[in-house]
Structure 1
């Protein structure tokens, strides 16, 4: 009988140890799940930031492209104006020569 009681006591202690281990594993699992959720939230936030930065980069590229196009147009307009002024100058010089003769 004493042997059975000792065995029963060992059984209870063993099960208690298992129960404690189980509780610890549960707690550890909850901690890890919480960490995972925080990391997932951080990843989502960083993905949004990356998306926003990519959009800003695209907007800046579009602005630069627009500025370059305006500069090209301005250069072409100035060249056209220069050509027109040269033509007027030549015509005026020709007219001046005709009037002197």
Structure 2
């Protein structure tokens, strides 16, 4: 796997870890459940990376992380419809980028 791919993965994993915290702070049961699931996925991904990942799998991981992060606004809108207009920009501000940037 190239350093560029690894850098992308690390950046998106850091965003996922921040989202885990932000989801839990909402106290919304469904978002907390998603946070717990994301936490498990991040842990598994870290183990995969430690075990070694080839270039093809690295690119697939980038695609999967990118898609998941880009779908977060839809998830928030579905689970917290009334607060989504506030939460999405707030989360983007805390992440330092827009979800569409991924």
By the TM > 0.5 criterion, same fold? no
Scaled by the length of structure 1, the TM-score of the pair is: 0.26
Rg larger in structure: 1
Q: TM-score, normalised by structure 2?
A: 0.25
